[in-house]
Structure 1
Amino acid sequence: MDISEILKKLSDSFGVSSWEHNTYSIVEETLKEINSEIEISKRGTGSLVAKYGNDDKKIAFFAHIDEIGIAISKIVDKDFVRVEMVGGVDPRTLIAKRVIFKTEKGDKLGVIGMLAPHLQDKDKRGQSPSFDELFVDFSISGGTEGLNVGDIGVVEAKSKELENKTISGKAIDNRAGVVSIIKALDYLKKFKFDGTLYLSFNKGEEVGLVGAKGMAYDIHPDNAIIVDVTFAEDLPDNIETMKIGKGPAIGIGAAINKEVNKKLTDIAKNENIDHQIEVLPMGTGTETDVVQLTKNGVKTGLLSIPIYNMHSPVEVVNVNDIDLTAKLLALYAYEEGGNK
């Protein structure tokens, strides 16, 4: 399994919250290549779950598959529409971009223009627009005919390999996590695993942790690991900054089970897996926050892959960090899976 190629395919696919099904075919094809006997099913309101093994000890790896985007909120006239965000979209990341919308008649291309600096009011040049000031122009693709309020769009962006084993693209949050749990299965097949491993590719994290809530209740694993991304940019002086290329960040905090945290940390140290420690004293802002509360509680840990430029069309990740995350996950499953 080539991590870079799968990540680029997933990054380029259209999977805004509520449209995750567009990315599932890539996941299913890759899983079947790893193990043709793996059980794959759609569950709940549309999350994808793969089951490997068949024993009492249930372990689950969770990774949300949806990405942020925009939705048409008003059709203004024959050429222009207004939009609102789906998930945490900064309007500044949309200016001077092409956007693709899914419609009943296929894909529709629009642009979000920007007034030339020569024509801008000097007093407004330094101001950032809000969604109340943005329009999508569809005059380049036949106008607004065929569009409907509620149609979903995303910035048109193609992933690219950069230097030092890094990849840039949209939706690295959280397709990097998706790739890591798939690769973990690829590694795990080399071991004698006697438990049951669930890989849950969840919908709707960006709009309220939607998929993880239902899947945690449905699977109700003994132990769960959430895989998401985290910030690699500079942070306030009192907070440790995660680094790209230094391995996954093992979360520690109130929402994270101490036993799971210790097991992950011990494995990483014993197996010489580069890793970092991320302090999350309150909530984590990830699916960890809901999975650990399911039914009578689930022992839950968190691994985060550092990225640059989160929630933008040019997120950046190091492929080695994804690979190290996968190795740590596979070893965790092996040790916890009741291998006999």
Structure 2
Amino acid sequence: MSYAPDLEFLERLLHASGPSGFEEEAAEVFLERARSFAQVERDRHGNAYARIHPGGKPKVLLLGHLDEIGVIVSHVEEKGFLRLKPLGGWDPQVLVGQRLRFSGKRGPVFGVVGRKAIHVLKEEERKKAVELSELFADIGAGSKEEALAHLEVGAVGVLDQPPKWLLGERLVSKALDNRLGAFVVLEALRLLQGRTSAEVVAVGSVQEEIGAYGARTAAFRENPDLAVVVDVTHDSATPGMDQAQVGEAELGRGVVLDVGPFVDKQVFRGLKEAAEREGIPYTLHAHGRWSGTDADEVAKVREGIPTGIVSIPLRYMHSPVEMVDLEDVKRAVRLLAAFVAGV
């Protein structure tokens, strides 16, 4: 199955702001692209839906979460500095010195994450891992009043790191976890036009990074016959990674198929057979309890929804420089389309 990715859409999706619980901007980019070939809507939870062949059988749900890790302003100090709380799982060391883009009262407000300079850090402070409570954001305001004129407590921010292409079609950006999944499910839906009579719903789900709550809502609302979740997984070739712990997954070597308690055996077998038919390389990843993806919630909805997981190898997860190989993204799109077309 031939496929040419819409890279302009991918870059727009990655640039958009969409921290957990505040995914509106990313959802609008998703829906704007989908309107040209699918029925679109959002639910009260915030999930974005794109649908083809309503009423067709079977009904297949494809999910990739739209939210990214971010920060929320918890306090504004007298000198205008902002204290932050996390939206999702941060390594605070990654935040030091980063640029942020906040959703302000009249538009974007830019700032930086500050910390005392190394020259004035005490010896014990230099050796100690920094905690998020020690960090602050500086938007250039000289006072609390000036800062509050532009944003307020509850304003959310994301890393201000636009997509960049590196050697060998490798892409680095914030939010690849998991705008890639949202991109893949919508591109697969586009590729499926004229190739299936099934009702297929691509969902850009919300709030995965804080508990996969959006996927639970979407699965209950749609009540599909089966579902496939697309997410990212750790690249095991990165220096310091232990394959015995993270499994085998490497940029440019293909997709990853999950095996575990929440993965339906028939859906897994169908994904595997589709990959083999299409000549798509894959590796297997086993988890003993949960996968850490939307699938954990989707599989438990109602009387149980048969669910599979397709993952894309990613380096430097939850950082400003997440990295992926475009070839793996294209393979994931082709795999989903081939699987659904063969259901």
In which range does the TM-score fall when normalised by the shorter chain? over 0.9
CA distance in structure 1 between the partners assigned to 2:142 and 2:211 by the alignment: 33
Partner of 2:166: 162
Q: What TM-score do you get using the length of structure 1 for normalisation? A: 0.93
Deviation (angstroms), 1:216:
0.1
Q: In 1, distance between residues paired with 2:288 and 2:142?
A: 49
Aligned pairs for 1:144-163 (under 5 A) are 144-146=147-149, 147-163=151-167
**Counterpart residue identity of residue 8, structure 1:** E
Aligned counterpart, 1:186: 190
The structural deviation recorded for 1:239 is: 4.7
Provide the aligned C-alpha RMSD in A.
Answer: 1.7
Structure 2, unmatched stretches of 5+, are: none
1:335 to partner: Cα distance: 1.0
1:296 partner letter: E
User: Which one of 193, 209, 212 corresponds to residue 206 of structure 1?
Assistant: 209
Q: Residue 276 of structure 1: which of 283, 296, 299 is its match? A: 283
Greater shift in the superposed pair: 66-75 or 124-133:
124-133
- Matching of residues 105-124 of structure 1 within 5 Å: 105-124=106-125
Does the 8 Å contact 1:79/1:137 carry over to 2?
yes
> 1:300 aligned to 302, 307, 326, which one?
307
Which residue number in structure 2 is paired with residue 64 of structure 1?
65
Secondary structure, aligned partner of 2:342: helix
Q: 1:228 to 1:78 in 2, by over 3 A?
A: same
Which range is displaced more, 282-291 or 50-59? 50-59
Q: Distance in 1 between matches of 2:244 and 2:47?
A: 39
Change in 2 beyond 3 A, CA 1:324/1:170 = same
Aligned-partner residue type, residue 153 of structure 1: G
Cα shift readout 1:178-222 (whole Å, capped 9, x = no counterpart): 11112212221252x111001111111111111101110010110
Partner amino acid for 1:30? Answer: R
Instruction: Provide Cα deviations, 1:132-177, integer angstroms capped at 9, x if missing partner.
Output: 2111122258841322111111121111001111100000000111
Query: By how many angstroms is 1:74 displaced?
Result: 1.1
- Contact between 2:249 and 2:283, CA under 8 Å: does it hold in 1? yes
Where does residue 197 of structure 1 map in the other structure? 200
1:94-105 paired onto structure 2 within 5 Å: 94-105=95-106
**Equivalent-residue separation in structure 1 for 2:67 and 2:210 (angstroms):** 9
* 8 Å contact kept, 1:228–1:304: yes
* Aligned counterparts, 1:2-17, within 5 A: 2-17=5-20
CA distance in 1, matches of 2:210, 2:104: 21
Shift in Å, 1:105: 2.4
Q: State the distance in 1 between where 2:279 and 2:286 align.
A: 21
Number of equivalences? 332
Over residues 104-151 of structure 1, what are the superposed CA-to-partner deviations in whole Å (9 max), with x where a residue is unaligned? 222212222243333332332232211221111222588413221111
- Rounded to whole Å, the distance in 1 between the matches of 2:107 and 2:293 is 33
Paired AA for residue 81 in structure 2: F
Aligned twin of 1:172? 176
Q: Percent identity?
A: 29
CA deviation after TM superposition for structure 1 residue 275, in Å: 1.2
Gaps of 5+ in 1: none
Counterpart Cα distance in 1 of 2:21 and 2:142? 24
SS of equivalent to 1:144: helix
Provide the residue aligned with 1:137 in structure 2. Answer: 138
Q: What is the DSSP-based 3-state SS (H/G/I as helix, E as strand, rest coil) of the residue aligned with 1:211? A: helix
Q: Distance in 2 between matches of 1:317 and 1:3?
A: 16
